[in-house]
């Protein structure tokens, strides 16, 4: 009997219904009769989580769900808000297995590595004889945990040559209550790792749309534990950051941080170290690890649209025809695109390339925790 190739494609759907019961009903209708190995789910922080979790358990009882709360969604019309996004993986061509880590303040790296190695070994045993399988590890973490660097390095080390990709959950720009989804429930102070296996082409990527400018910043006083910087160039951090940006009288908010991202050079590459908030005492809190002595440059934008065109062309060279792209797009990327009047064009490109995912509080790529990137997993047909 011939295989219906449409039944092997990912199921990507969106609901904007405010009522959790109706929203999940719309997602279930979109899945229809397709048997799923599991699904990713990203939801606006506007949904009541207990009610949403209950509806997921009732209406999608046989679908393993993994995901998190978001700072915005990447949906069927590109950038979206107040919605739920689901990406389902058909059972005939995908397998998924997961682990959750709780109480991240007391994360045991050695025990976690052992558990991840066991999970990967079990997956290898389950697919003995199928040498064409590809694997990636999807990773979702509470975006307020401040543990992403340790978690990502620990997981990638245990995974070996299986590449890790993922994002930090958000809650709009509230910074109060983020959570990951696992076992039909939302969990704060937690992280989930999902091994995805398939014979289909899988390609991970990570890019940003900024280059280092001439202005330099040296972190001269910081608290690495809280990611707080008190002094830059031996001056109060917020005031010095504004001075170097050339806008000393501007309001320090998410839009300002998005337009003036600090950048660090490591290993011949540049990485954004985004600022999360300005504090009443004149300090700055970062989305990522920061320490005394770190030298940063103020970032300048490159041609985002041209860079994205090149990125999607490269993805097609890697996987052939794109089935879907699971995207992890930093919330500051989105704000900067909106402020530069590019959000509509970016959304059109996401729709054209079937990008579904969410806006993050940070992205994970291999062993690194990133900021202000567009990171993701491309799945070929």
Give the model confidence (pLDDT) of 294-338 as tens digits: 999 999 999 999 999 999 999 999 999 999 999 999 999 999 999
CATH architecture, domain 210-301: Beta Barrel (2.40)
32 Cβ contact list (under 8 Å, min separation 6): none
- Rounded CA-CA distance 28/267 in Å is 46
Does pLDDT of 21 surpass 90?
A: yes
Does pLDDT of 82 surpass 50?
A: yes
Does pLDDT of 132 surpass 80?
A: no
- Rounded CA-CA distance 284/280 in Å is 9
Residue 265 has a pLDDT of 87
Give residue-wise pLDDT tens across range 258-289. 999 999 988 778 899 999 999 999 999 999 98
- The fraction of the chain above a pLDDT of 90, given in percent, is 90
Residue 266 has a pLDDT of 81
Residue 2 has a pLDDT of 40
More confident position, 131 or 157? 157
Confidence of residue 3 (pLDDT cuts 50, 70, 90): very low
Query: Are the C-beta atoms of 38 and 65 separated by less than 8 Å?
Result: yes
Does pLDDT of 38 surpass 50?
A: yes
Q: What does pLDDT average to over the chain?
A: 94
Does pLDDT of 135 surpass 70?
A: yes
- Rounded CA-CA distance 146/224 in Å is 10
Confidence of residue 1 (pLDDT cuts 50, 70, 90): very low
Please name which of 149, 94, 78, 154 lies closest in space to residue 127, comparing C-alpha atoms: 94
Confidence of residue 126 (pLDDT cuts 50, 70, 90): confident
Does pLDDT of 4 surpass 50?
A: no
Residue 6 has a pLDDT of 53
Residue 8 has a pLDDT of 82
Residue 249 has a pLDDT of 76
Residues paired with residue 192 on neighbouring β-strands, in sequence order? 100, 140
More confident position, 54 or 271? 54
- The fraction of the chain above a pLDDT of 70, given in percent, is 97
- Rounded CA-CA distance 326/67 in Å is 12
Give residue-wise pLDDT tens across range 246-258. 887 789 999 999 9
255 Cβ contact list (under 8 Å, min separation 6): 335, 336, 339
Confidence of residue 114 (pLDDT cuts 50, 70, 90): very high
Residue 127 has a pLDDT of 67
- Predicted structure pTM score: 0.93
Give residue-wise pLDDT tens across range 136-164. 999 999 999 999 999 999 999 999 999 99
DSSP code of residue 250: S
Question: Where does the chain hold its CATH 2.40.30 domain(s)?
Answer: 210-301
DSSP code of residue 188: S
Give residue-wise pLDDT tens across range 200-230. 999 999 999 999 999 999 999 999 999 999 9
């Amino acid at each position: 009997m011939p295989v219906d190739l449409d039944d092997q494609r990912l199921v990507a759907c969106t609901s904007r219904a405010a009522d959790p019961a109706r929203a999940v009903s719309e997602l279930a209708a979109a899945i229809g009769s397709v048997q799923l190995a599991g699904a990713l789910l990203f939801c606006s922080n506007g949904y009541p989580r207990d009610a949403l979790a209950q509806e997921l358990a009732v209406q999608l009882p046989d679908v393993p769900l993994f995901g998190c709360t978001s700072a915005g969604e990447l949906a069927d019309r590109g950038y979206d808000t107040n919605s739920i996004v689901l990406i389902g993986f058909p059972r005939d061509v995908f397998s998924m297995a997961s682990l959750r880590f709780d109480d991240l303040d007391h994360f045991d790296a050695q025990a976690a590595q052992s558990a991840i190695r066991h999970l990967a070994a079990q997956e290898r045993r389950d697919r003995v004889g199928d040498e064409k399988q590809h694997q990636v590890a999807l990773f979702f973490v509470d975006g307020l945990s401040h543990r992403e660097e340790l978690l990502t390095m620990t997981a990638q080390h245990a995974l070996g040559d299986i590449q890790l990709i993922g994002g930090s959950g958000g809650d709009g720009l509230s910074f109060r209550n983020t959570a990951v989804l696992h076992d039909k429930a939302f969990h704060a102070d937690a992280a989930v790792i999902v091994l995805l296996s398939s014979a289909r082409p899988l390609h991970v990527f990570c890019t940003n749309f900024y280059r280092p400018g001439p202005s330099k910043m040296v972190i001269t006083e910081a608290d690495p534990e809280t990611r707080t910087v008190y002094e830059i160039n031996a001056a109060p951090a917020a005031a010095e950051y504004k001075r170097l940006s050339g806008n000393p009288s501007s309001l320090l908010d998410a839009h300002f941080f998005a337009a003036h991202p600090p950048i660090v050079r490591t290993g011949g590459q540049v990485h954004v170290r985004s600022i999360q908030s300005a504090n009443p005492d004149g300090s700055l809190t970062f989305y990522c690890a920061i320490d005394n002595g770190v030298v940063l440059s103020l970032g300048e934008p490159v041609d985002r649209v041209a860079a994205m065109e090149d990125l999607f062309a490269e993805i097609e060279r890697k996987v052939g025809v794109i089935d879907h792209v699971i995207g992890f797009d930093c919330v500051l990327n989105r704000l900067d695109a909106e402020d530069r009047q590019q959000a509509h064009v970016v959304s059109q490109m996401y729709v054209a390339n079937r990008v579904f995912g969410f806006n993050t509080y940070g992205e994970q790529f291999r062993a690194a925790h990133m900021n202000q990137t567009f990171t993701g997993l491309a799945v070929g047909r």
